[in-house]
Structure 1
Amino acid sequence: MTLVINRRPANGDNVRAITFDRQGPATEVLRLAEQAPPAAPRAGQVVVRVLSRPIHPGDLVGVEGLSGVPRQRHSFPVSPGLEGMGVIEAAGEGSDALRPGQRVAFFPVPGSWSELVTVPAEFAVPVPAGVRDETAALMLVNPLTLLILMRAVEQAVAESAGGPVVQTAAGSTIGKLVSSAAKRHGLPLINLVRSDAGARALQDRFPDHPAISTADPGWRTQVREAAGHRGVPVVLDAVGGSLTRDLTSLMADGGTLIVYGMLGSGSTALESLALTPRELTVQGVSVSRWLSRTPGQRAEDVSFAASLAETDPDLFEVAGSYDLADYAAAIAHARRPGKTGTVLLASPAP
């Protein structure tokens, strides 16, 4: 793991932030800047000094844009990121449950790649005492994504004739969370990873779920055998691209392809998948939809996330932690094939 160098802002009144004003390659458009601290929090807000924040694929999509979509320009520099953890520096009225000095995790709060952020009190989640800062930085987005995915999977499975679920990118943080949840709920799962070594490691960790490497030329046959030579009713896919055609070829007619990421290369035309004659469903799922849940439902989800961080911290793996100034190296690490865990950007505690 990369050591975090204890750096301080050059100007005591300013704070550091990674910013960009136009979309493009991250290493070209991002820069480390100093900016004025935020204003005093209003009612229902807290100001948080961010100590650690993850680099999620979606953060980089926000910086670089999507293929085929015109790139955006911003009238003023903005900071990436939606998730992080830190310490409350000031609390506005109506935030009685939150106090200065308290550790909190937060999501969704734009601009987490800054050292100070203003957080709506409803999105500031107290960090349990036994949870480490690095775990707390990952405490919300991935578990909330897990809940959204599992709800979609359970609904699709209930509407099918039964059978195992196939998931891609099974060695990722989300993939391991899904494997753990599948074990708890007795959901038959077939895990796909892109290397033989990754398949062996995942099989050792989750022996109840077959782990298959797509680097093996016979991986499709192995999936069919693991599925009992039946079509797979549900595929949970974070890869997309050229892999989509192979995945749908393994599916049962009437099956559902749940897409929540675009980690792969290449593309697959929808008209080549015979969606209509096979009655296949393609369903996109995003954690951004989480805000559409009621406050009570969101509170239950957050409680689950905090409890998972306490009871299963090993599911919140950290690949490395870098100071904000080393963001280029951190992004390169986040994109490194075969990495295990999530890369963090850290700031020194005051």
Structure 2
Amino acid sequence: MVKAIRIHAPGGPEVLKYEDVEVPAPGPGEVLLQQKACGLNYIDVYHRMGAYPLPYPAAIGMEGMGVVEAVGGGVEAFKPGDRVAYADMPPGAYAEARIMPWHRLVKLPDSIDDRTAAAMMLQGMTVEYLIRRTFKVQKGDTVLFHAAAGGVGLIACQWLNHIGATVIGTVGSDEKAELAKAHGCDHTINYREENFVERVKELTDGKGVPVVYDSVGKDTFEGSLDCLKPRGMMVLFGAASGPAPSIDPNLLNKKGCLYLTRPSLMVYNKERAELEACASALFEVVTSGKVKIEVNQTYPLSETAQAHRDLEARKTTGSTVLLP
């Protein structure tokens, strides 16, 4: 038996139960992992609340790092003792040990430590597909990135800065503004004190930006569209404030023939080759020092409920790791 977090019904952080569970031997194509660290992400909140329904009792957690303990039949890419990481289906990262399909794992470079690995996979690979594949940001582009002091935001600010883009980031406090600036954000907008649409227009001489990256959803969606230049792209990749409103497609025409996409990491990394290329690009910018992963909070796995409360209250910055 090992300890794991399970939910038996959707709800608030109180539904997260720290329980004993059995972990079977790995079957064909599977790997048994002894987990060293687990990442905390907003998709975990969506699973907990039932926005993305799971069969109950449900395991949650999409990101982790561990050591291979055993492999099932047909697994040749990994062997016991390998350090691996993942950010993928099926959920179940909140556990001391778990089974994962081998083809969703990647081997870790020795230069990346356990906690950094657990904190970087989902957020870092999300940044990779957003800025290199969803909208390929070029040197000299100006982009708007919401929640710039969050885990994804801090990685994005650094990576975009490395590319040579100008980053405008929204934040919720002066402290978060300083944090974002320290990680490559050129201009910060405290959305509690400023109208971010007006400020973006001011910073771009009224032109707007070619792309907006929005993980906030309901509270920022319409304003984000108004920040785009003609034929700009709205990249909606989350809903921290709630689902974005439904819109008439004609609105995109009226606002300048805009593009709107709702991408996800799982689709962008569906093929093994895509996953490997994405992870490789992330490992390169991290090991080179161009992007630093900030693990600003750690919690014992038994205190996962409190970690969720702090995440939803926007008390966290950078990345958060749960320790089994």
- Relative to the length of structure 1, the TM-score reads 0.82
1:37 maps to 23
1:337 to 314, 320, 324: 314
Unaligned runs of at least 5 residues, structure 2: none
2:142 to 152, 164, 167: 164
Distance verdict in 2 for CA 1:96–1:255, change over 3 Å: closer
**Contact 2:147-2:216 within 8 A present in 1 as well:** yes
Provide, for residues 278-321 of structure 1, a one-character-per-residue CA deviation record: whole Å limited to 9, x for no partner.
3222211111213434x333222222233334333963222322
1:327 to 275, 287, 304: 304
Q: Does 1:130 align with 2:111?
A: yes
1:116 maps to 97
Higher mean alpha-carbon deviation, 80-89 vs 237-246, is at 237-246
Higher mean alpha-carbon deviation, 221-230 vs 196-205, is at 196-205
**Contact 2:23-2:99 within 8 A present in 1 as well:** no
Provide, for residues 255-281 of structure 1, a one-character-per-residue CA deviation record: whole Å limited to 9, x for no partner.
221101112258645249932323222
CA distance in 2, matches of 1:181, 1:325: 33
- Percent sequence identity is 25
Q: Deviation at 1:219?
A: 4.1
1:84 to 42, 64, 84: 64
Distance verdict in 2 for CA 1:31–1:281, change over 3 Å: same
Equivalent position amino acid for 2:167 in 1: L
Q: Deviation at 1:87?
A: 1.6
Q: Deviation at 1:324?
A: 1.9
**Contact 2:252-2:258 within 8 A present in 1 as well:** yes
2:43 maps to 58
Unaligned runs of at least 5 residues, structure 1: 1-13
**Contact 1:248-1:273 within 8 A present in 2 as well:** no
**Contact 1:333-1:343 within 8 A present in 2 as well:** no
Taking only aligned residues, the RMSD between alpha carbons, in angstroms, comes to 2.7
1:200 maps to 178
Higher mean alpha-carbon deviation, 183-192 vs 128-137, is at 183-192
Q: Based on CA coordinates, which of the two structures has the bigger radius of gyration?
A: 1
Equivalent position amino acid for 1:45 in 2: E
Provide, for residues 309-349 of structure 1, a one-character-per-residue CA deviation record: whole Å limited to 9, x for no partner.
433396322232222222222222222324212222211xx
Distance verdict in 2 for CA 1:265–1:60, change over 3 Å: closer
Distance verdict in 2 for CA 1:91–1:274, change over 3 Å: closer
- Relative to the length of structure 2, the TM-score reads 0.88
1:147 maps to 128
- SS of the residue 1:50 aligns to: strand
1:25 maps to 12
